[in-house]
């Protein structure tokens, strides 16, 4: 009898101990007694590098929440992000490197609607200067802009000096740009200097159209037609490096410009930070600067286009409050100051950020002057089927550039196929 009583007491004690230990069991989301909560943030490699300093700063400042970065190569990131989000809650916060991907994920309900968290934490959106309005889908906000993109014209000062030609100016039309590109194209083979280089991206195929406020979703695609033809004319007259070669070799804008034989190149603000850091690391010796993007006739000088680079919370996160703490930090003032120090244009702008932007050692004077003083037209609407509709435009434009279709056939195909996509 005594033995049974003792055994019963032992079993009760054992169960109680196991329950106690279970309540304090450690997991990666910071359950009771586990120490800091871990927030997994997924980024592409370049962005992970850009965010490293501010992530380290966050981890040093916060004892209860820590950031763990999940990184993927730049060119593999969209696919890896899609797979990761489909698998569940492996990441809590993630970046998207364009608004079309953001819109696609948001409409699939893979991004958390931030309305409740914004209200709960009383976040004032005014310092995003309208970017968050552009990011809303059916009135709801599914991310915050960690940075924004604005486009300008980069140029190689040494090539212009060598040719005895005046530098590009802020108030330059696309016709004047083309003439200047022709003038700066010289030589052959290893000594070849190109007037310009155009990256094979869909937004660059729409350069002048976007400055007019016309997107692939506009009712009239006349501006897109003019832009596609303008670029083809650049390729045909040889003042832009060959489209086919650029495409087949996966030519990259940064490597092309840093080689030192490109006189001018339209590109986003993000190139400035790369040129600054690469020059400091001894990777190039290009003497460069920027001016405002050339503009179409009838459009005001210093008009460019751009978009937000969103950061969102996974709709399936089990760590919502901690994820918000990370998101609001990286996309707020401290994250913005970190970006500004790197020569990257932040989404969040205030006087403190403006003081820092363009102040990094080795930053040309034109960077702050240009990127902080342009009218930025939204590059894309956000909503359903943005990504698939853009794909139509991109693929049909490229069939024109390789000579498979004429311009009228190209535009007819774009019109018919985009209607089908938009109707889905």
Percentage above 70 pLDDT, the chain: 92
Q: Where do the DSSP E strands lie in 16-143?
A: 37-44, 65-72, 93-95
Q: How far apart (Å, rounded) are the C-alpha atoms in residues 306 and 10?
A: 69
| pLDDT above 90 (res 242) | no
As a whole number, the mean pLDDT across the chain is 89
The torsion angles phi and psi of 166, rounded to 5 degrees, stand at: -65, 145
Q: How far apart (Å, rounded) are the C-alpha atoms in residues 235 and 241?
A: 7
pLDDT digits (tens, 9 = 90+) for 269-309: 989 989 998 999 999 999 999 999 999 999 999 999 998 99
Percentage above 90 pLDDT, the chain: 72
Give residue limits of the domains in the chain: 37-147+306-367
Helix (H) or strand (E) holding 41: strand 37-44
| pLDDT above 70 (res 372) | yes
Residue in 352, 397, 384 with CA at minimum distance from that of residue 204: 397
Res 156: pLDDT: 98
Res 34: pLDDT: 65
Q: How many CB atoms lie within 10 A of CB 397?
A: 24
pLDDT digits (tens, 9 = 90+) for 178-228: 999 999 999 998 889 999 999 998 888 999 999 999 998 899 999 999 999
Domain at 37-147+306-367, CATH homologous superfamily: Periplasmic binding protein-like II (3.40.190.10)
Tokens 């069991």 label which residue?
Answer: 25
Q: Rounded to the nearest 10 degrees, how much is the dihedral formed by the CA atoms of 151, 152, 158, 159?
A: 90
Q: What is the largest CA-CA distance in the chain?
A: 108
Q: How many CB atoms lie within 10 A of CB 420?
A: 12
pTM flag (> 0.85):
no
| pLDDT above 90 (res 29) | no
Would you place residue 63 in the very low, low, confident or very high pLDDT band (cuts 50, 70, 90)? Answer: very high
């Amino acid at each position: 009898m005594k033995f049974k009583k003792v055994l019963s007491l032992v079993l009760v004690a054992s169960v109680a101990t196991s329950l106690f230990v279970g309540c304090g069991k450690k997991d990666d989301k910071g359950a009771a007694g586990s120490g800091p909560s871990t927030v997994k943030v997924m980024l592409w490699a370049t962005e992970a590098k850009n965010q490293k300093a501010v992530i380290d700063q966050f981890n040093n400042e916060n004892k209860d929440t820590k950031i763990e970065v999940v990184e993927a190569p730049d060119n593999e990131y969209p696919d890896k992000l899609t797979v990761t989000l489909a698998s569940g809650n492996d990441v809590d916060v993630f970046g998207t490197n364009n608004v079309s991907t953001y819109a696609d994920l948001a409409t699939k309900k893979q991004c958390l609607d931030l309305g409740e968290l914004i209200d709960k934490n009383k976040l004032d959106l005014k310092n995003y200067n309208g970017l968050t309005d552009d990011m809303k889908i059916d009135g709801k906000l599914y991310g915050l802009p960690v940075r924004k993109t604005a486009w300008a014209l980069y140029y190689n000062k040494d090539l212009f000096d060598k040719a005895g030609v005046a530098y590009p100016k802020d108030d330059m039309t696309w016709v004047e740009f083309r003439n200047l590109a022709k003038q700066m194209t010289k030589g052959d083979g290893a000594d070849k200097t190109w007037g310009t280089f155009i990256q094979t991206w869909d937004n660059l195929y729409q350069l002048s159209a976007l400055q007019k406020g016309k997107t692939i979703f506009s009712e009239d695609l006349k501006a897109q037609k003019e832009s596609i033809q303008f670029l083809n004319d650049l390729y045909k007259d040889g003042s832009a490096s060959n489209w086919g070669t650029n495409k087949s070799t996966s030519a990259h804008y940064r490597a092309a410009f840093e080689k030192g034989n490109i006189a001018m190149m339209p590109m986003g603000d993000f190139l400035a930070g790369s040129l600054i850091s690469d020059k400091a690391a001894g990777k190039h010796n290009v003497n460069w600067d920027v001016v405002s993007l050339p503009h179409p006739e009838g459009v005001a000088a210093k008009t460019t286009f751009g978009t937000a680079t969103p950061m969102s919370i996974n709709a399936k996160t089990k760590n919502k409050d901690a994820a918000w703490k990370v998101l609001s930090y990286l996309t707020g003032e401290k994250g913005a100051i970190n970006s500004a120090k790197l020569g990257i244009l932040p989404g969040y702008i205030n006087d403190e950020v403006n003081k820092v932007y363009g102040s990094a050692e080795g930053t040309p004077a034109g960077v702050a002057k240009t990127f902080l003083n342009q009218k930025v037209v939204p590059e894309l609407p956000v909503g359903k089927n943005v990504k698939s509709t853009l794909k139509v435009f991109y693929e049909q434009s490229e069939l024109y550039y390789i000579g498979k279709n004429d311009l009228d056939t190209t535009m007819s195909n774009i019109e018919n196929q985009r209607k089908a996509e938009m109707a889905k």
